[in-house]
Each structure stands twice: as C-alpha cells, then as structure tokens.
Chain A
C-alpha cells in the first residue's frame, strides 16, 4: 500500500480536516475549498489518469470533478466522508467520459463477456500524448495499458482500490454498490489484468 500513502503525502496539508474545510467552504469561504482542492487534486488526477488512460483527459476530468463538487457542495450533508463524496463525483465524471468516448467510436464497442478472455476493446485514447511521457518504464506502460483495457466498472474498482487506496467499504460507498460486488469486481478485474499482462511480465521476469 505504499503508493497511496505516497500520494496522500504529496498533498495533505497540515492543519484542518476535510470536515472543517468543507464546513467553512459551505459557509462561503472559497479559500477553504481551494485547500480541499489542493489536498485532493493530485490523487484525483492519478485516479482519473488510470481510469481514462491519458493525461489530458485526466486534467479535464480533475477540473470537472472539482467544478461539480463546488457546485453541489451545498448538497453535501456530511453523511459520508468528503473524500467518499468527492470520488463519487470523480467516478461519475470518468465514467461519463468513457461512455462518451465509447459512443464516439462506432463499431468498436464490443460487449464484455466476463467468461471470455481475449477481448478486443477500444484502445485508450493515447493520441494526445505518447505514453512514454508519463510512464518511465516499459513495464509501467504495459500495466497502464492493461488497466485501460479492463471493463469500465471493473477498472473503476481496481483503480479506487489499488491506485487511490480506498478500502472495500469506502468503494462500496463511493460507487454505491454492495460490498460483495466490490470484492467480486475487484477480483475479476485483477484476474483479467493478470491474464493480460502475464505474457509480458514473463519478459521482465
């Protein structure tokens, strides 16, 4: 779990808790919301990057997620953690974008059959940048690409768990799905990932 810890360490400010900042932001203190953005945007960006596959989409999605969060902040009642609520928005933004992207690629939309292994899927949009810009090693590139090939709902759970670092329970809250579904999706996502990258991993072994 080193990665999420590193990411958290990048942005978490010393001082006020999310709840305190949220309360002040809801009272109209824009600076407090800026602090919330500061403390979360790196991890939101990483989540979006792994979900969407390219940095420019990740930037857009990050920005859009915070805009949506700011707009609907008054509706956030604090029943869940701010991060749970924020990542519900992030996941919706990402899934919207993926849906939109899929709608645009007519003819490549292959329905996912969980039993079959080799599926052809629309590749992630990498036209915006060479993946090497973001990925320093070939292995990282392979893994990143493999994540992009997972079905969206499975990818979401995998990214939230293994990249963002949420627990099963938190993910159930974020995606509003039963805990059992989180576990089964996560397991299937990882099995699918294993099957995609296993041949490549042997090269690096």
Chain B
C-alpha cells in the first residue's frame, strides 16, 4: 500500500473506526515510514485542536428572536397548513392573499361614491328593486341582465330603466377618468347578446363587438388587453358600481318601482369588516388592490377575488402547475384570464396568453390551472391579468419567481426571508428595486399594478431580502403580506 492510501485512513485511525487488524497494519507502516508517522502526528494535533475549540454561546436574545420569528408562522397544523396538505384547491381557499379586484374602487360596500349624492338627489329613485321591476320598456341589455340577476343571484345590479336615465347616470359618473361618454345605443348592442342567457353582468366586450359599436368607440380606459369600447365601459361601469352590493341606505332611500333592494349585501359588508384584515370598503379603495382576504363563507355575497399563488419552479424544462383562482358572489357571463410570460418562462404547452375566457357563476370558486415551463435558469417573471366586462374591474399583477437552486429538497423549503443581500439603490425605480431583491434574495414577489416606480435610495449589507422588501414597501406606503413564501405588495389605503 502506498503512503497516499495510508493517509486516506488517518481519520478513521484517529476516530477508532478501523478494524483492529487494519489499525495494527497501519501502525506497523508508520513504524517504518517516518513521513507517515510525522504526518499522522500533525494530523492528530490538528483534529484535536478542532475538537478543543471552545463552544461559543449564542447571544441570549437569539432564543427570543427565534421564538418571535416563529410567532409569525402559522402552526404546522393550523387550518392553513392543513389545507396545504389537503390539496391545492383547499389551499387556495384557505387564507391566501388575494387580489381584490376593483369593484370596490369607488364604493361603500359596493356603492359608487358617485351614486351617493344621487341617493339624496332627485335621481335617487333610479335605483330600482329588481324584484319589482317590470320588464324593461326598451331593449336595454343591462336591464335584461339585471332581471336575470335578480333571479339568479343574491346580488342584484342597479340599472337605468331607459336610455335617458342611463345617460344621466353616465353623465353623473363621467368625472371618473376611466369612463367615457355615454352612448347608450351602442352599449345595448355591445352587451345584449349573451346577457339574457347568462347572467347578471354583461359579457366581456370582444373585438367584434367593438367593431359593431362603430365610431363611438375609443381605446379602453384601463384594460390594457381587452378591447373595450368606451361606451361599453361607461355603461358597464354603471353595472360595476352596483353589481357588488349596495349600501343599506339606498334601499331605504329608494321608493317606487325603481327602489333598489339588496338584502344580503349589508350583511356581507359587516362580515367583511369584522373578519377580514385588509378588506377596505372605503370609497378611496382603488381598483386592483390586494389584501389578505379569506374566501368568503359560502353563500355570502362577495366581490370578485383573484388569487395567484406563485408556483415553485425547480428546474429547466420541467413544467410546473400554477393556478389562478377566481371567486365572485355575482355571476359574470365572461371573464378572461391572461398569463403573459415576461422572462425565462413559457406556457406549456404553447398556447395563447388567454388561459381562460368564459363564464363565472355566482359563488363559484373557479380554479384555472395552467403549466409553466422554465426555459432557463435565472429570475422568472410573468404577468397575470384578469379582465371582466365591467370597467375598472380588472386585476393585473406582476409575479417574480426566484431562481431555483440545485439540490433543493423539501427540507430546504425556500424561506420567506430569502437570501441575504447586499444592495445599494440610488434613485432606483421601486419596481426595479423589488425585481433586484427578488433576484438576489431568491424570493417570490407579486406586485399589484398599483405598485409604482417611486425613486428609491437605500443601502444594506447582508440583510435578508425579505426584510429589505418589507422596508421598501412600508416606507413607500405599500401594504405587504407574506403567504406561502411569497410577498404580495399593493398600494396601502
């Protein structure tokens, strides 16, 4: 045996891990070989010096810090975690941060502020009781829609009984920059066909319908993707403002056949306020906001909720399943969900970015699954948007997925705090800063479209990326929540 081979057994000799015969043979060799003997002597000293290192005492505060860090994590068998074990469906329903789509935008419990003065104004009686409402005197599709809604859904929509009133409503709400000039006839054409058949909201305008509306159309006010005629936006906004529920005052203020009667909405509002952490029902709530809103109890009316749980991409070429979950109390004849892959990802199999276009029934929790495939390593980004026919009622979020790590196993589940980062931002656009933190810190970020590009100046050394994200978000007035190892950032109200 060569000296090299003996040397390979120094450790086992020192540890007493060799058989007596092996150990004896080795000692015989060292008796003859001065190099090995000296080498082993030094080896033993080195090993002993390691073992003689005195233990270091952790700082006393460490235990308390760990304990408080654990406080922020749901217990292993909390409902949320049980849901994870029970499957992705329940997981989605349990407690995830949701994107709250903008039906609450200008609302008090769903009522647009623009309608508030109307409640005390001569126009107030325009609100109508759908139960009592006669068949529409004209072919106003929205009226038809609401007649359907009254039958089908706990949430009923307010509408104008004729074109003149529709125009008045439109005019009264024209101050919203999102809404266009009223042209009722075009709207009727836009929304008529499917509404009768399908439910309480007009269908999503399509390019074809857009063409039908003729010269009155203009680019959609907010939707980046859906082609939405402004006229339709206007009329639909009207539906939007009323579709999500109406304050009790309206019901009380209304009179005559046009009185709007919503029985469950106030109940929902109370429940919402009582139980939901981030649910903001003040009129200042902007569209496309996110909050940690648990799924409303079944049977409770709700707005349209959109959840997207970032998938964990683990390797190139291996498709992972992601899901967008929609839930609304009121029926929508059509919603569209789009996934645009921005960097490093593609849909698998290759398909149109619109992964779903179709109806959403009342109280339905619709989960739309799709598969993503990583083209390469690095940071991956995608954009998820949900469009409805209702103006202002859409969500868009940018999702940043961390680079995956070789050898990642279940025991090393990505920590929410991510890796420590050393960064310096000088007048850096906020979204870019978030992107950089997600990349370096390998954390998942979901940015609502309301996250702006304020200039950020910040510097840190070896700080967990999650902490930096939180600092930047909070100092710039954003709401941040962490669920399932992902950061959800949206405008704070």
Contact = CB atoms under 8 A, between A and B. Distances in A.
Interface stretch (A13-21, A116-124, A179-187): A179-187
Contacts of A144: 53
B214 interface: no
Contact of A63 (B11, B65, B462, B485): B65
Contacts of A3: 51-53, 55
B42 A59 contact: no
Given A1-B51, A41-B66, A46-B55, A197 B76 contact: no
A109 interface: no
Contacts of B350: none
A7 B58 CA distance: 12
A143 B49 contact: yes
A30 B70 CA distance: 9
B53 A140 contact: yes
B3 interface: no
B11 to A, nearest CB: 4
Given A45-B58, A140-B54, A163-B53, A28 B76 contact: yes
Given A50-B53, A194-B46, A201-B42, A96 B77 contact: no
Given A49-B56, A162-B47, A71 B12 contact: no
A89 B76 contact: no
Interface string B138-163: 00000000000000000000000000
B70 A33 contact: yes
Contacts of A81: none
A104 B422 contact: yes
Contact of A194 (B43, B55, B66, B412): B43
A125 B252 CA distance: 69
Among A67, A135, A147: residue with most chain B CB under 10 A: A67
B413 A68 contact: yes
A66 B43 contact: no
B50 A158 contact: yes
A62 B55 CA distance: 15
Contacts of B67: 34, 37
Given A28-B75, A60-B420, A201-B46, A92 B412 contact: yes
Contacts of B415: 64, 67-68, 71, 93
A198 B42 CA distance: 7
B57 interface: yes
B413 A70 contact: no
A108 interface: no
A156 interface: no
Nearest to A128: B462
Interface size for chain B: under 10, 10 to 19, 20 to 34, or 35 or more residues? Answer: 35 or more
A88 B69 contact: no
Contacts of A2: 51
Contacts of A56: 462
B464 interface: yes
Given A57-B462, A59-B59, A198-B42, A75 B410 contact: yes
A128 B462 CA distance: 10
Nearest to B441: A100
Nearest to A72: B413
Interface string A95-123: 01100100010000000000000000000
Contact of A30 (B14, B75, B422): B75
A38 B42 CA distance: 37
B62 interface: yes
A14 to B, nearest CB: 18
Interface string B409-421: 1111101110110
A25 B70 CA distance: 12
A191 B56 contact: no
Contact of B10 (A37, A75, A162, A191): A191
Contact of B77 (A26, A50, A66, A187): A26
A52 to B, nearest CB: 11
Given A186-B11, A193-B50, A63 B76 contact: no
A199 to B, nearest CB: 10
Interface string B454-483: 000000001010000000000000000000
A42 B57 CA distance: 7
A6 B422 contact: no
Interface string B395-434: 0000000000100011111011101101000000000000
A197 B49 contact: yes
A190 B47 contact: yes
B255 interface: no
B11 A37 contact: no
A183 B18 CA distance: 11
A203 interface: no
B464 A60 contact: yes
Interface of B: 7-12, 14, 17, 39, 42-43, 45-47, 49-59, 62-63, 65-67, 69-70, 73, 75-78, 81, 84-85, 405, 409-413, 415-417, 419-420, 422, 462, 464, 485
21 contacts: A34-B70, A38-B63, A41-B58, A45-B56, A45-B58, A63-B65, A68-B412, A70-B73, A71-B485, A74-B85, A92-B409, A92-B411, A139-B49, A140-B53, A140-B54, A143-B49, A163-B51, A184-B8, A187-B10, A187-B12, A194-B45
Given A168-B17, A201-B46, 18 more contacts: A2-B51, A3-B52, A3-B55, A33-B76, A37-B70, A41-B66, A62-B58, A63-B62, A66-B69, A67-B66, A67-B70, A74-B77, A88-B409, A135-B54, A163-B53, A183-B11, A190-B47, A194-B46
